[in-house]
Structure 1
Amino acid sequence: MTIKYTPDHEWVEIHGDGTATVGITVHAQDALGDVVFVDLPEVGKAYAAKEVAGVVESVKAAADVYAPVSGEIVEVNESLRDDPSLANSDPLKAGWFFKVKLSNAAELDGLMDSTAYDELLKNS
């Protein structure tokens, strides 16, 4: 299982079947505070990398959730829609946002590994 990160604080778990699961990082949910609403993308819709694919709202702010890679949405986390607090309590597992079928796997090369992401956090 490979996980990559974006500068916008999304994580991407790459699966061997050409799909990836996307969510927000621990840092992102810490910065947002208590998540109260998520707007998830529509299954079947295609997004380009860095295109807004959803929104997360907290008691403090609202933030866009970007598609870290290009592809078609194949699943959304209905549990997160029903209980947005999962983005806070379990952002790296049960709080995932959507799954995407990759249309350009080479885009993954432009994302950060955990070491690079940790370095980004230290320098921000």
Structure 2
Amino acid sequence: MAEKEKLYFTNEHEWIEVISEDYVRIGISDYAVEQLGDVVFVELPALNDTMKKEEGFATVESVKSSSDIYGPVEGTITKINDSLEDEPEKLNDSPFSAGWIVEVQVSGMLDTKEWMDAKAYDEFVSE
């Protein structure tokens, strides 16, 4: 289970957990889930798909709207949380643990400086 304080965040509300220097887990923030409302469907990428930075790799549909999830890194998707297909509500119930979306083997060097830490992200969404 990821602790929010140990995560990084993008302006598009994805969170990134750095597992190793070239491996990350990605999901969407509690703020994003709140804005979406009750999640009813998650369209996941395929295993071994290439993630491109700032391009959509998954879609989350809720009772309110539909939203693309954007890649914060370049790399290969090595794991998908396929339990979200049958239980999309995991995003609402547990966005930082059971609601993770994918794990990615990062291409090249991982640069966390481009992302916000939890404190900066909380300030960002409160504006």
Q: How many equivalent residue pairs?
A: 123
- Structure 1 unaligned blocks of 5 or more: none
Give the unaligned 5+ runs of structure 2: none
Match of 1:19 in 2: 23
- 1:100 aligned to 101, 104, 108, which one? 104
CA RMSD between the two structures: 1.4
The structure 1 segments of at least 4 consecutive aligned residues displaced by more than 6 Å after TM superposition are none
The answer to whether 1:45 aligns with 2:59 is no
Superposition TM-score, scaled by structure 2 size: 0.91
Shift of 1:106: 3.5
**Cα distance in 2, alignment partners of residues 108 and 72 from structure 1:** 18
User: 1:74·1:101 contact (CA, 8 Å) conserved in 2?
Assistant: yes
Could you tell me the TM-score, scaled by structure 1's length? 0.93
Give deviations 1:64-106, integer Å, cap 9, x for gaps. 0011111110010011111000000001000111111111334
Residue 64 of structure 2 corresponds to which residue in structure 1?
60
The correspondence for 2:117, drawn from 90, 113, 117, is 113
Write out per-residue CA displacement over residues 25-52 of structure 1, whole angstroms, 9 at most, x where no aligned residue: 0000000000000011111111221110
CA–CA separation in structure 2 for the residues paired with 1:117 and 1:104: 25
The percent identity for this pair of structures is: 38
